[in-house]
Each structure stands twice: as C-alpha cells, then as structure tokens.
Chains A and B, each alone.
Chain A
Amino acid sequence: MKQLAALQQQGRRSNSFRSNSSPLDATVDGAIKSPATIFWLFLHGLCCLISLVLGFRFSRLVFFLLFSASPSPSTTTIYSALRTTLPAISSPQERNVSADGAGSRVVVGRHGILIRPWPHPDPAEVMKAHRIIERVQAEQRSQYGVKNPRTVVAITPTYVRTFQTLHLTGVMHSLMNVRYDLVWIVVEAGGTTNETASLIAKSGLKTIHIGVEGKMPLLWEDRHKFESRMRLHALRIVRDKKLDGIVMFADDSNMHSLELFDEIQNVKWIGTVSVGILAHSGGSEEGDLLMRETHADEKDEKKSQIPVQGPACNASGNLAGWHTFDTQPFVERSAIYIGDRAVVLPRKLEWAGFVLNSRLVWEDVEGNPVWVKDLVEIGKDGEDIESPLSLLTDTSVVEPLGSCGRKVLLWWLRVEARADSKFPARLLELLSFSTTISETSLLLYIWIIDPPLDITVPAKRTPWPDAPPELPAYVEKVTTIPENTEKRPAKSGSKRKRSSRSKRKHNVKVLDIRASTKQAGDN
C-alpha cells in the first residue's frame, strides 16, 4: 500500500526509474521482435515487477545492495526500523548528498530510525524522574506558593462504629498528604479507645487523642449537638496548650481537597470556605432529590445540582451573606437516627466550613480583635453551638476564602451504618460483614459465622476485580467469607476495605444496602 502510494505520488521526489525507462519505451515502439527487443522487454518487465515490490527508488536500492558491504537482509533497508545492534546499517549514507563540502557532519538524505534494543522505561530512571519532578514542584511552591506556612490544627470528632475505619482512614490520608506542619486533634466520644488509637498511630502525624465522656447519641440532631461539644472541647485543648496555627474542622466522613489546605493559609482571623453538601442517599430516591433541589433554587442556593454552603459575596468581593442548605424539601424525609435510610441533613452552617486562627481561642492575647468572645464563656451552659460564628460578636468580619466561595474545597457527607451493626475489631483484616445475620463471633483471628447460615447460595459474581460487579438490588448471601478469612488470617491491620480502587467490588459482598451507599467516602 505504501509503495503504491509512493508510486502514484509524483511529489517532491525525482523518479529516476522513469527516466531510465524512457529509452526502453522507444525501443518497444519499434515493434520489431528481435531478440534484443525481447530481451529488453523482458528486462523492462522484470524491473517493473521488482520496483512494484521494492518501491520506486529501486535503482538506488540496487546500487546499495550491490555495493554495500553489509550482509544484512535487504528487507531492513525497505522498512526503516533499523536496530542499533547492526552497526553497518546504523549509518546508512546511500544517498549521500552532502550538505557542504566544507566538513559538515550532517548529511541530507535517508537516515535510519534508531531504536534501542529494549525501548521500555527503566524503573530506576522513572524514579529519578519523579524525584526531579518533586524537587521542581517544591521549588515552584517555595517561589509562588504560600510564603510563611503556618501549622494546621485539624480537629476531628469521632467514635467507634462500623464505618469509623473507613471514614477516619480517609481523613488520615488527606492529612498525611498536607505539605504543611500538622497537628491532628482526635476527639472521641465515649473516651479514648485502643482501636482508634492504633488507627491514628499509623498516620505518622502529630496527634492529640482525647476522649469526651458520654456515648454518641443515636439521633442525628443529638449527634450534631454532641459533636459541637466535642469540638469545643478540642478548642479548649488548643487554648490550654497554646497551639499556634490555623484551626480547621475535619469531620471524619468529609472529603477534603488538598487545595483547601493551601487556601486556608491565607486566613487572617476567621475565614469560611464553600462546602459542597452530598446529601443524597443513593438508590431510587436520587431522582426525586435532584428534582427537589432544582425547585429549591429560587432561594439563595447556587444553580448547581449539588447544594453548597458557604459565603456569598457582593460585587466588590466582600462578604454579603451566606448560602445555607435549604432543608425545606427534606423536612419530612430526613433521617432521624443514625443508620436511617433517609437523607441526612446538615445544619445551617457546618463547622467544617470555617477556619480560625488559633490565637482567637487563646486567653488574654493582646493582639486579638475585639469581636471575639472568650472561649470559656461559650458552651458553658450546655447550649448548642451551631457554628463557630457563635464565637464572634460581629459576623461580618469573616473572610471568604476560595475566591470568595466560588471554589468548593471540601465535601460534607454523613453515611453511617446502623448503630447496632456488628463489626470486627481493627486487628482483623476484613472483606465485608453481615448486619442482618444474627450472630457473629470473633475467634482469635478467624471470623466465623455461627450458627452457620441456613440458606447458602453460591455467589453469582466473583469478587475479583476482573469481573465488573453490579450493585445488587437484593440481599445476597455470600458463602465464601469464612474460607477467605481462613486463608488470610495473619494480615493484621491492612485495610482491605479501603485499599481497593474498585469500590464497587465491595458492594457485591455487602449485604446491607444502606451501608453500601457509602461509595463517595472512599475518595
């Protein structure tokens, strides 16, 4: 095909073959069938045939083949992939139109295409390249990024529950990727536990693990209030220890983008960012939810599908008001207790959307602005502190961050399993769990379903990644769990729930649909 195209194309290349053939044509026209004529005719035909096969530069090719000392096969001169292991070919100067008689080393003409024997990446070099890129990026950051980075103090309220590992590992990895100094204050409801402690010890971050007395309540309303109390407790720790830096509230089921941590370095006293609210619960309700939100946008909501809480700015870029979550459409359908199938609603303004300069909560600092209340006076009477705005006497001083709230830098989500769900302790590797099976028992490093399941049906789908699994619409009993855990008894602490990128794989095993809706929490 290539040769045909080459033949057809008169183009820029001179066709020496044609010039050779014109004297032959003259003799053919003579029409005298002498032996010489026949001989020339035959030669002519042979040349035509060979040139069809080898390409229209046949004459020069013959020259090369006749006079080249290389023993290599002629096919390599036709297709131009020449290997560097054949030194004779790697400097082919068969069309030696030299650029200049005066010693130019660069020749015009056809060159070989040099391919090294193993044209694939070398892992050592790939690592070197990545180190170069890291260094270049560090240099970029130091030149164009934040000049004097301050320590980030992240406050996370948590408690031991089914999805704690899932959520907390997510936050932990986000915080581990933050490029600034970080102090992580983990406040735990019901006192500190070994499970949480062992989990956060893996982060390698500087952590402060404190406990707050009292079990986490079952109802969402109460849970919000309890969490506010926990955060205030953490702020007291900041005050007592005189931690210096920027305080941000990293709830354990939220998702944070790394740009958030870069952006909050710009805060002076108290700032606010836009928080995307992922209030969907998934499943058949999703369509209704979307419809409702588009109706609800006659208020101060942004015209996006996903509601956003955050600052609203006027034309000159100053804070003019707040976008809040409109709970109107959800009032009768909201979740009441943890693990409820309905939509979990956020408060009007979530704590997560605020960042403070830690000096605001210190006691008796002279440089503090007048509009901040003292921490000890807040929450003393057990009233509900809905948002850090209660710390201020004048809410107009809040600085809008993230180009005045236009950038959504973190996502709020609350997905929990039912409070009575059973889950294994951290020390076990876990693939999935059952919440409707009556009893499970932990026996050393083996998790046995006891008594054995009454009905066992072989799994329709394999759990392995090459088969794309589907979200089951029905409860599916899986029998392979005991064998799997027996085979891998000794892998402690590896979070297989979270390690797989194909999140949907877990759905096949998860029997509780409500728990399976926590997809987005993975990222």
Chain B
Amino acid sequence: MLKLRRPSSSRSGRAILPAKQMQLAVLNGKKSKDTEEVSARCEMEFSMWGCLLLALFTASIGVEGIDRRGARTERISGSAGDVLDDNPVGKLKVYVYELPSKYNKKILHKDPRCLTHMFAAEIFMHQFLLTSAVRTLNPNEADWFYTPVYSTCDLAPNGLPLPFKSPRMMRSAIQLISARWPYWNRTEGADHFFLVPHDFGACFHYQEEKAIKRGILPLLQRSTLVQTFGQQNHVCLNDGSITIPPYAPPEKIMSHLIPPDTPRSIFVYFRGLFYDVNNDPEGGYYARGARASMWENFKNNPLFDISTDHPTTYYEDMQRAVFCLCPLGWAPWSPRLVEAVIFGCIPVIIADDIVLPFADAIPWEEIGVFVAEKDVPYLDTILTSIPVDVILRKQRLLANPSMKQAMLFPQPAQSGDAFHQILNGLARKLPHDKRIYLKPGEKVLNWTAGPVGDHKPW
C-alpha cells in the first residue's frame, strides 16, 4: 500500500490536501522531501497526469517546506510503520479521573523540583491531557482511563526521588477509583494507563535487586504502564508497556543550539560518572562494570573525549561530536539518549537488552549504534569500522525534525512530540480485546499480594 506523506512547513490551519492516500501533517518547522523525489516516486506508481498535478501542488507547498537550514533528512518508520507523524486526535478518547489534590497538586506544591527533574513526564502528561482534544468528559465513551498520581515526586534533599511510599500511594489511588467509579472493576484496570517514570517503572525501587524481588505492583499487572524503563525479559517491563524518553527541559536544550555548520570535530563524547564510589565502593556493580571498563580502556585515547567534568558547554560539545556514548547507569535508560538525538550526535547505546523509547515507532537500530557490554573494550574498533555512508545515513535520520520532536515534552504541546507519541501508542493498542471485560463479580487481581508494608494506607 502506498503511503505518500508530504508534510509541509506552515502555520497551523493549512488546508489538508485531499488526495488519494496522502496525509499532510500540519506542523511547525517541518520540512518536506525534495520535490524531485516526489516526482520520482510518482512516476513509478501513479499516472503521469496525476503525478504532475501532485508535483505541482506539492511544489507550491513543498518549497516552503524545505528546511530553512537546508538539511537533508530521511523519513523514519519503525516496525509499526511511518507513524511518527500520526495525529491521535480522533483515534482514541481518554477520560481523566479527578483525584483529590493530595495525589497530585499538593505533592507538587511541596516540591516544585519535580517539574524539572527527569521524571517530570508524569506531571506534564497530566497537564497535557487536561487540555487535549482527546480528553472526554464522558467516561462511558472513553477508550482509556488515566489516573493522575505523581508517584515520583517524593524527593530526598539531594533531589532524588524516594520510592518507598509510591506503592502505597498507587494502591490508595486505585482503591479510590475502584470505589468511586465502576470502570476499574469492569476490567480490573485493563483499559487504564499509568505513568511510572521511575528507575524501574512500577517496581518502585531504585535498586535493581530489590525492584526485581518486588516485581510490578500486583494491582497494576493488567494496566498499561507508560514508563521510561525498558529491558527485555525483565520483571519490571510488562508486555504491552509503552516506553517513553525521560523528561529533558526543552527550552534549556533549545537555548544551547549552535550553528549547524560548526564542524563536528570530536569523535566520541561522554560526560558522567564511571565509578559510583558512594554506592558502589568496590566497583563492578555500577553499570554492570561497563562504565568503568569504558574509562579504563579509553582514558588514554585521544579520540574519546570522556571525563567526569560538568562543563557549562555540555550541550554545545555534544553538537560538535560525531558519537555520544549512552551507557547504562544504575538503570539502563538515561536522558543522554534524548540529548544525543536532539543534538544530532549518534547515540552509542551500551546496555544489554534495553528497550528504547517508542521502540515500535522508531527504528533505533538504524539510528543508533548498539554495543554489547562485553564488547566495550573494543569500542574504538567497532566505531571506526562503521562504514562512512552508514554514519552519514544515521546523521540524516537524526536530522529529521520529527525524530527530535518525538523525544521532547514541550510546553505547550506541539504535534509530533512525545505526548502525541504516547497517545499514538495507546491508539495502536485499540480496539481492546473483548476478553478484558470481566463478568460482574469476577476478580482476577489479588489485592493482598505484595509486601505487607504496601498495604498500609497512604
């Protein structure tokens, strides 16, 4: 089936081209393909006349659509197809439960740092959904139900979230919605979704061993979890979960952009810890030894600009680098991936079995470089043996603005951004399987499962 998409750069509100199988996504700052490519494709599949008309029309729109920077990019289509530009409006309806403010607003008031740390997606998703076009006020016609609980907002003095009360908070919220509304009991949460952006998702612990022991909160087993953590065959990742990128403040990132003709002169770039002496004094636990291995093997290598510095020019330096290392830390995901994608630096992902954000919409193997943890000592050989045209293609894919948009959570929301990708992911799971609807009185979830401490009311 032919899919011809011609996005154009325009102010919102342009007319949608009524053509066979064409969609014009109306976006800010989007660029179009060269019109020559339009006609080339046309000739293969359409009749000449239709093609000419099309080409003329798109030329008139497409000329404006060429990126003002003149960058060449490529369309991105993952296993689900070319879906990054899909518009979720009209495909699903979301009902937002109104919980008492002790679950959300009051927590936020207590600590406004929650708005800027990397777990802030749960807060911004709530704000987005409240004003979005997919929201419906009639729960009977909703496809998905959202529960706004800010479970990652209990911060220690140093800013890291403490997950000790999160299971109780979540349990208490679920008790509330199952008591007040009938929709939870109808499916025992199978058409509900929750945002759990913490280190190991709904396992609610920062230490992997403990998180695995706990497993996903039993009450959330049937719901769709939208989380940043993703690792294959891991307890804390359910099938059907949606992985999202961690929150990175968009204005801060955009304010550090440098001209794109600044030549990329750093080969490999990384800033961060290699050893976590506070929590892992012996070494070997943090990052499964991969970061330490990186340091020991490449600290003398001039091609590798790696250190534990915190330079003020961190973002600018990433824009001057060809490869940016994104190794795992205590958890396999990190905001470095988001930063690398936005700055056009090819991410080198060193985390075995990781599941990357929007894995069905974005073909990460074509965009990033995956290195097994055991191959870290040979990283320089691996990176220098990548053929140059593969590298250039990856850079073209990264230059695609829809790719960069999909990684960000801008305020206010723009089309194609991470909020929309989450909704797209939820829409792709529709329609719900009839089997999730339980007969009245039927119970699947075990409300007494889990550690005893979780049962204490919050």
Contact = CB atoms under 8 A, between A and B. Distances in A.
B17 interface: no
Given A100-B233, A119-B377, A108 B208 contact: yes
Interface stretch (B220-228, B382-390, B420-428): B382-390
Interface in B225-243: 231-235
Given A99-B212, A99-B233, A109-B285, A114 B279 contact: no
Given A80-B284, A135-B392, A136-B392, A114 B293 contact: yes
A313 to B, nearest CB: 20
Contact of A81 (B267, B285, B296): B296
Interface stretch (B117-125, B165-173, B297-305, B405-413): B297-305
B72 A143 contact: yes
A132 B284 contact: no
Interface residues of A, number: 51
A140 B264 CA distance: 8
B296 A100 contact: no
Contact of B264 (A55, A80, A99, A136): A136
Interface string B366-406: 00000001101110110111101001100100000000000
Given A12-B279, A137-B263, A116 B378 contact: yes
B388 A135 contact: yes
Nearest to B231: A106
Nearest to B264: A136
Interface stretch (A33-41, A121-129, A225-233, A352-360): A121-129
B70 A144 contact: yes
Contacts of A115: 293, 296-297, 377
A145 B279 contact: no
B296 A133 contact: no
A373 to B, nearest CB: 36
A136 B322 contact: yes
Given A104-B234, A145-B261, A113 B392 contact: no
A111 interface: yes
Interface string B75-86: 000000000000
B377 A84 contact: yes
With most chain A CB atoms within 10 A of its CB, the pick from B284, B300, B376, B392 is B284
A99 B235 CA distance: 7
Contact of A136 (B234, B303, B353, B391): B391
Nearest to B259: A144
A67 to B, nearest CB: 19
A100 B234 contact: yes
Contacts of A102: 233
Contacts of B132: none
Given A2-B282, A133-B267, A99 B378 contact: no
A136 B268 CA distance: 13
B116 interface: no
B380 A133 contact: no
A116 B297 contact: yes
B432 to A, nearest CB: 26
A9 interface: yes
A80 B212 contact: no
Contacts of A140: 260-261, 263-264
B215 to A, nearest CB: 10
B352 interface: yes
B335 interface: no
B3 to A, nearest CB: 26
A121 B391 contact: no
A421 to B, nearest CB: 41
A139 interface: yes
Given A128-B385, A137-B265, A122 B352 contact: no
A333 interface: no
A176 interface: no
Nearest to B304: A121
B172 to A, nearest CB: 26
Nearest to B207: A12
Interface in A453-481: none
B212 A113 contact: no
A133 B234 CA distance: 38
Given A80-B292, A119-B297, 15 more contacts: A5-B281, A99-B231, A104-B234, A108-B212, A111-B285, A113-B293, A121-B302, A125-B380, A125-B384, A128-B384, A135-B392, A136-B388, A137-B263, A139-B392, A143-B71
19 contacts: A11-B279, A97-B212, A104-B234, A106-B233, A109-B209, A109-B285, A112-B284, A113-B283, A115-B296, A116-B297, A116-B377, A119-B296, A121-B303, A122-B381, A128-B384, A132-B267, A137-B263, A143-B72, A145-B261
